[in-house]
Every structure is written in C-alpha cells, then in structure tokens.
Amino acid sequence: MMPPPVDDSDEALMIRAGRGDRLACQMLVERHLGRVVNVGVRMLGNRSDAEDAAQDVFLRVWSTAPRWKRGAARFTTWLYRVTVNVCLDRIAKKREAVTDEPLKVVDPQPEPGAALQEAELAAHVNAALAQLPETQRIAVTLCHYQGLRNIEAAEIMGVSIEALESLLARARRAMRAHLQPLAPALLGGS
Amino acid sequence: MTDTPISLERFTHLLDAYGANPARWPDDERALAQHLIEQSDIARAMWQQAAALDRVLDAVPSEPASPLLTAQVLATAPRRRRMRGWRVVMGTVPLAAAAAATLWFVADQRSTRPTAELTLVQIGEYASPTDALLATFAVDTSVTAPSIGCSDSALGCPILEAPAIDPYSQLPRQGRIYS
C-alpha cells in the first residue's frame, strides 16, 4: 500500500517549522534563501548587505511560523513583502546614518572602444538599477529578475496593475537611457 | 494594414513594462501582441529592441546563497523543545515525590480500614455510665440513640429532606434545617 502523499507546500512547511521541524526549516531555506538574497542584492546594491538582510528576513520567518495560519496568505507573496520591507528599512537607516544620497554602486568607466566584459556589463546594469527610485527598483526586481506575475508583484507592492506597469515602463526607459552610451552595440544604438 | 486587435501604443507600453518575453505579458494580451509582431514590421523592430535590453539586464547573474549563509540562517531556525539534564531532574523529582506520597496514602488507608471497623464494633458493645443510668429507667440506648436518617428517635434527629445543594450554583446557599 502506498503511503499518503506528504504535503510539502511552503504553507505546510511553515506550519511544521513552527513546531520546530528541522527538515521543514531546511526545505524552506533551500527553496527561498537564494531568491531573498537576490532581491536584496538588487535592492541594496551589494551582496554583504543583502546577506544581512536575508538573515533578518528569515528571523521574521521563524518568529511568524508558530502563528502561521494556512490559507491566510500565500507564503511567497508574504516572503517577498517581508524581504522588500526589510530592504527598505535598511536603505532608510543608511540614509539616516549618512546623508540623503541615493544608493551608490560602483559604475566602472569603460575604456573607449573596448568591448564590455560580462562582469563589467553586470556592474553597469547594477549601477543603472541602483539609480532608480526605490519603487521602480522593486518593480523591476520582482517582475524582471524574480519573474513574478504582474498580479503578485502588484500585491506585494500594494499598488494597482496599472501603477505597476507605469513603474516598470519608467524603470526600463531609465535603465536603457543609462546603458545606451555604455553598450550601444548591445542595445542597437539610438 | 488592417485593424489590429491591440494598438501599437498599448503594445509599446507592454514592451516598456514587461520586456520582450511573452511569458511576462498579461495572459489576456499575449496572443494579441504576438499576432501583432507577426503582422507589423514596426512592432517586430520594437520587440527586437526590447529583447536587446532584456539581454543586457540579464547580464547580472543570479547567484545561489552561499553554504555559510545557509548554515547561519538554519542556525536561527526554531528547534523542538528538549529538556536538558537538570531540567529533567527538576521536572521529574517533584512528580516522583507526589506519586510516592499518593501510593503511601492509599496503602495507609487500606491498612487502617479493618482497625476502624473493629473500633466501631467495640464501641457498639461498650456500655457507658449513661447507658447504665438510662437502663435503670428501661431505656435501651441501642434503640433510642439518634442515628442518621431516623426521624422517629426519642432524642430527635436531623431532617435530611432538605433540598439538594448544587456546589456550582450561583444561587445563595441554604442551610440545613433541623427539627
């Protein structure tokens, strides 16, 4: 006789994690830690801060797990919302601590005529992303980099679909404008 | 060019917002937008430009979480509560003591029961000075002594037909009534 199928959905794992089930905790971490870190990298501009933020996010996951109610929310939607909020808190704290400067990411200056290396191009893209206003950065991160559907991204951000599309369009136009002079060959010139 | 189900303006907005990957477009507009790309050279050129921007944006790799970070995060995960050695002692010693006391009490009750019965028999056979005095007036104390539930005793006895008392009732408690 076949054993009954084990419910390994995120929501079921959260309930098990709340009871101290180590395997459930491990599965949640394996599934979602990478995504959380990647959102953090896009939002905060560097991996070190992103990893600190990821630890904060999972502390919230663990503290919420004992009170998690099945059906109240989709786990990934909730997790992304927590991640975005943790990152926004860190950005705000950094601003308070230093000055009212925008997020700084090193934007390497390419040698004239030199073909952009992959790592260099990535640095330029990160710099373009960092120059976006936070809401646009969140929208691009969730939709383009995390591949979320527009409905879920809008829900996470607490905006309408129309507002999300507007944020995305402005973000992509701004990034194209930033990257066009650096990678005209890749972007087809203007 | 024939009328298109999706306007070029809306198509441009779709590309601006979601890029060139049809999987990211809204479900209800995907087929219409793809049809427009097939039909319109302008739409196709715009789509190719959007695809070029997508390729540049995707130059930023998504890296997996490091093993060190994974271990750090797992170290903060909740654990099942386990009683440590001294907690086990602190928790079990009072329980064991309570169990021993209960056993002792039960055993003690059992051992004293025959003695109590014997005492009652002896009291019943014991003739006090009062019994001897009353006997001179032909009063048999074994018959007339009040006993629980006898309402016709010569010495009187409590009336036990009082209404039952509910210990959990919120009504005011009534005292027993004696004759």
| Structural domain contains residue B43 | yes
Identify the domain containing residue B151 by its residue range: 127-160
For residue B118, is pLDDT > 60? no
Show residues of chain A in contact with B17, CB under 8 Å: 143, 164-166, 168-169, 172
B7-35 pLDDT, tens digit each: 999 999 999 999 999 999 999 999 999 99
Mean of pLDDT values over A162-179: 96
Show residues of chain B in contact with A58, CB under 8 Å: 73, 76-77
Report the C-alpha gap between A85 and A64 in whole angstroms. 15
CA dist A95 → A102, A129, A138, A141 (Å):
8, 18, 18, 21
For residue A174, is pLDDT > 70? yes
**Is A147 at the interface with chain B, CB within 8 A?**
yes
Same domain, A92 and A125: no
| pLDDT score recorded for residue B103 | 80
Structural domains of chain A, count: 2
**Is A122 at the interface with chain B, CB within 8 A?**
yes
Task: Read off the DSSP letter of residue A3.
Answer: P
B52-102 pLDDT, tens digit each: 999 999 988 888 999 999 999 999 999 876 655 556 566 667 777 888 888
User: Which range, of A55-64, B44-53, B78-87, B102-111, averages the lowest pLDDT?
Assistant: B78-87
As a whole number of Å, the CA-based R_g of chain A is 19
Mean of per-residue pLDDT scores for chain A:
88
Give the predicted TM-score (pTM) of the model.
Answer: 0.67
Q: Do A33 and B69 touch (CB under 8 A)?
A: yes
| Structural domain contains residue A73 | yes
- Ranges A84-98, B30-44, B87-101, B128-142, most confident: B30-44
Same domain, A95 and A136: no
Which of residues A49 and B83 earns the better pLDDT score? A49
Tell me the ipTM for this assembly.
Answer: 0.83
Q: Do B26 and A29 touch (CB under 8 A)?
A: no
Mean of pLDDT values over A91-102: 75
Determine the residue among B10, B63, B69, B70 to mutate to test chain A binding: the one whose Cβ has the most chain A Cβ atoms within 10 Å: B69
The number of CA neighbours under 13 Å toward the Cβ of A173 is 11
| Structural domain contains residue A147 | yes
Q: Are the beta carbons of A38 and A79 closer than 8 angstroms?
A: no
| pLDDT score recorded for residue A102 | 58
User: Token match 């936070």: residue?
Assistant: A134
Rounded percentage of chain A residues whose pLDDT exceeds 90: 69
B153-175 pLDDT, tens digit each: 454 554 445 555 433 332 334 33
Same domain, A67 and A94: yes
Determine the residue among B21, B73, B76, B82 to mutate to test chain A binding: the one whose Cβ has the most chain A Cβ atoms within 10 Å: B73
Which of residues A118 and A36 earns the better pLDDT score? A36
Show residues of chain B in contact with A143, CB under 8 Å: 17-18, 24
Same domain, A18 and A88: yes
| Structural domain contains residue A161 | yes
Q: Which of B64, B65, B75, B71 is nearest to A62 (CA)?
A: B75
> Residue A140 is encoded by which pair of tokens?
């691009």
| pLDDT score recorded for residue B95 | 76
Q: Which residue on chain A is closest to B16 by alpha carbon?
A: A169
Structural domains of chain B, count: 3
Same domain, B134 and B102: no
Identify the domain containing residue A28 by its residue range: 8-99
Last residue of a domain, one of A47, A65, A99: A99
| pLDDT score recorded for residue A81 | 96
